[in-house]
Structure 1
Amino acid sequence: PKRPAPAAPEAAPVSVAPEAVAQVSAAPAAEAPTSAPEPAPVPAGTPPPPEAEPAAPRLSPDEAFDALYAHSAPGLVRQTYLLTGRRSLARESVERAFQLAWHRWPEVAVDRDPAGWVRAAAYEYAMSPWHRLRRVHRHPDAPPSEPARRALFEALLDLPPAYRRTLLLYDGVGLDLPETAAETEASTPAAAGRLEVARAAVAERLPELAAAASPAEQSELLQDRLGGLARAEHVPSPSPARTVRTGSEDKARLWTRAAIAFVALLIGATALTLHTAPTHYEQPLSPPERVGGVPPRGGPQKLTPQDVRLQKVLKEQLAHGPERLVPRIP
């Protein structure tokens, strides 16, 4: 980027005496010049002033996003495929990243590297461990049939995700070490250590990489091999930019409606709770307890079997008993 031009030095403040101000105020109006002063003569041989360059046409947000998408999306899908080994996940990650970029376009448009912003978002989504729970992304795609590309493909997928990302950014994309460390959220020594370990692991599968004399030759060879692997594999093309923008707007609209529905449900539940809640304190009833020491209830005892037989006999002889004795007078 061009360095900004130095600012012009400010003019020193000029002090004007009160007498001069009075003289200017008292001067007659007729002495004021009625015509503009003639311009100073231009010396012969002076080149004409340079004409101002026409300003570049200002792009609308839609046009700027479409230009960034057309420039970065196809290559970013291939890079994400090398990172994950899954074609459908690579395309999905790139489209999700651009949807997020369109949702935050005022922030992305003024970023120092909009393509890097989208790349970081796509890599973060592609490396999420939650994709292992999805059946369609549980296993990587079939490796290439060529032995050299197959060995490089398997060596990449055997690396830990952080090491694989560092190797791809430095040797595949071409970032320098501080930029790679910043994008992977690591320190520069940590990124250098990851890069060295990743190169050693890949060199065990690729003899030509192990035969390279210097790290610069290893980086150049890896960049060539990674680019060839990404171009040789058939990776699905991303959706049109308009479809991505529409999907981002639909998703934002859906989340807005869901948030409004949740707030309305929360307000309704709160209102129902306030309406049905008791307005005064009701003392709870104490649990019942068994009372002891009370005498048993009184009353006739239960008849025994002998009493029952006697009662039956008396009832039968009541009507057929002996005749009443009549007293006699002596």
Structure 2
Amino acid sequence: MTQSPATPLPAPKERRRLREDQSLTQAEMATRLGVSRATVRSWETGRTTPRGRKREAYVRLLTAEPTHTPAEVNARQQETAPELVGAGAGPASAHKARPADSRERSTGDGESRESALPESSLTPAQAFDALYAFCAPALVRQTYLLTGRRELARESVERAFQLAWHRWPEVAVDPDPAGWVRATAYEYALSPWHRLRPRYRHPEAPPAGAADRALLDVLLDLPPVYRRTLVLYDGVGLGLPETAAETEASTPAAANRVLHAREAVAARLPELAVPEELHWRLAELASSERLRAAKPRTVRWYGERRAQQWTRAAIAFTVLLIGVTALTLRTAPDHYEAPLSPPETIHGLPPRAAPGPLSGAEVKLRAKLKSQTVSGPERLIPEFR
């Protein structure tokens, strides 16, 4: 994670000479280390320095004998796989001792672990299970440092790997699959919508140790973006350019966030003003909680089940939409119906007379009508019975 004093690193100019002695290009070196070509170029120019397991793997490749073949290099990388897998299974030992390798295991998610995987052809399920076994245990501990919640840390990692399995063709060809999953898990863990969920409205039980509680309180008081940057740089051990890229910030902005986060931690915990001590305390805090991830087969099964449920819901919604559209077309009018004309006032008619005695004109009109002949269809006379 941080640079280990037990791993001497050659000077920048010497790094390039050693690489050329190995007959390796910058692209080949980057492929073996699981980093980009720009990262190797920055290491050789002295702009940045590798940290953690990247540093150890880089030194091993530089100091290796030129007669080593790629198959031998892959075999040596495979030998480190059990150690990396065991990193997530033994947090108690990391809590008791302070060696550099145990600090590496505690919170580093093994960003170079994908390079330790054999290059033999694997099925998608086998490749996914291998990535999960290497990254999930440490990634759960890292997410716990971001959230302070054990259940949310496990849920975030499982959801990230479920999404990775759902998009496995995209993740499988990604230059850094572990970084892809880590970024997804961090985004899910730091989502502000979790505070609205009933199960996360109340805080969880804090760590047992007073020092661990104090450090966790300081971390949770930091803004989420500062907390994430500090965990990536001083916890996981990423370089500054990689940390800036993962947090979607410029390198100077990421450096300022690290400095401000360190100052905030040192203001409340002066004994952690030294970056190496802060790194070890982050590793110790993450390892003190016995956080275990689910089995990879279980994560894949839940991911497939979730995808099936969403697919069925989408199909049901589509069928419902088609049914509503068909019903609307069936019941809608198929011809034009003219609207009723609005009422109009008719002028020139005498007003309606109220019941009462007849006027003189009305009496004359009645007498005239009675005097005329009543035969023929022109008039109808009521019959009095």
Q: TM-score, with normalisation over the residues of structure 1?
A: 0.70
Distance 2:157 2:256 in 1: 28
- Counterpart residue type for residue 227 of structure 1: A
Structure 1 residues 298 and 119, CA gap change in structure 2 (3 angstroms): same
Equivalent position to 2:231, from 141, 147, 168: 168
Q: Distance in 2 between matches of 1:227 and 1:52?
A: 33
2:212 equivalent to 1:149: yes
In the TM superposition, what whole-angstrom CA distance separates every residue of 1:172-192 from its partner, at most 9, and x where no partner exists? 000011111111111111111
The residue aligned with 2:176 is 113
1:1-330 paired onto structure 2 within 5 Å: 3=25, 57-210=120-273, 212=274, 218=275, 220-235=276-291, 237-288=292-343, 295-298=350-353, 300-301=355-356
Structure 2 counterpart of 1:233, one-letter code = E
3-state secondary structure, aligned to 1:274? helix
Structure-2 change in CA distance of 1:290 and 1:127 (3 Å): farther
Query: 1:154/1:290 Cα in 2 relative to 1: closer, same or farther (>3 Å)?
Result: farther
CA distance in 1, matches of 2:260, 2:279: 17
Residues 51 and 105 of structure 1: CA distance in aligned 2, closer, same or farther (over 3 Å): closer
What is the root-mean-square deviation in Å for CA atoms of aligned residues? 2.6
| Structure 2 unaligned spans of 5+ | 1-18, 29-67, 73-117, 358-385
User: Equivalents in 2 of 1:299, 1:174: separation in Å?
Assistant: 103
CA change 1:139–1:159 in 2 (3 A) is farther
Deviations 1:23-81 (A, max 9, x none): xxxxxxxxxxxxxxxxxxxxxxxxxxx99969953211111111111111111111101
Structure 1 CA distance for aligned equivalents of residues 264 and 137 of structure 2: 28
> Identity rate of aligned residues, in percent?
68
Higher mean C-alpha deviation, range 166-175 or range 285-294: 285-294
1:205 Cα shift? 1.5
Classify 1:266/1:116 alpha carbon distance in 2 versus 1 (closer, same or farther; 3 Å): same
In terms of fraction of residues, the more helix-rich structure is 2
Instruction: In structure 2, give the amino acid aligned to 1:112.
Output: P
Q: CA deviation at 1:263?
A: 1.8
Structure 1 pair 139–199 and aligned structure 2 pair: CA distance change class (3 A): farther
CA distance in 2: counterparts of 1:92 and 1:134, whole angstroms:
13
Change (3 A) 1:151 1:57: same
Question: 1:292 deviation in Å?
Answer: 7.7
Partner of 1:12: none
The alpha-carbon deviation at position 138 of structure 1 amounts to: 2.2
- 2:254 maps to a residue whose letter is A
Deviations 1:173-218 (A, max 9, x none): 00011111111111111111111111111111211123x3xxxxx2
Question: CA offset at residue 95 of structure 1?
Answer: 0.3
> Secondary structure of the equivalent of 1:192?
helix
292 and 207 in structure 1: CA distance in 2 versus 1, 3 angstrom threshold? farther
For residues 138-190 of structure 1, give each alpha carbon's deviation from its aligned partner in whole angstroms, at most 9, with x where no partner exists.
Answer: 24323223232221110000001000000000000000111111111111111
The answer to whether the Cα contact below 8 Å between 1:143 and 1:154 also exists between their aligned partners in 2 is no
In structure 2, the CA distance between the partners of 1:252 and 1:296, relative to structure 1 (3 Å rule), is same
Q: Could you tell me which amino acid in structure 2 is paired with residue 281 of structure 1?
A: Y
Measure the CA separation in 1 of the matches of 2:346 and 2:177: 83
String of CA shifts for 1:73-114, please: whole Å, max 9, x gaps.
111111101100111110000000000000111111111111
Q: Secondary structure at the match of 2:206?
A: coil
Larger deviation, residues 279-288 vs 67-76 = 279-288
Structure 1 residues 205 and 293 mapped into 2: Cα distance closer, same or farther (>3 Å)? farther
- Counterpart for residue 42 of structure 1: none
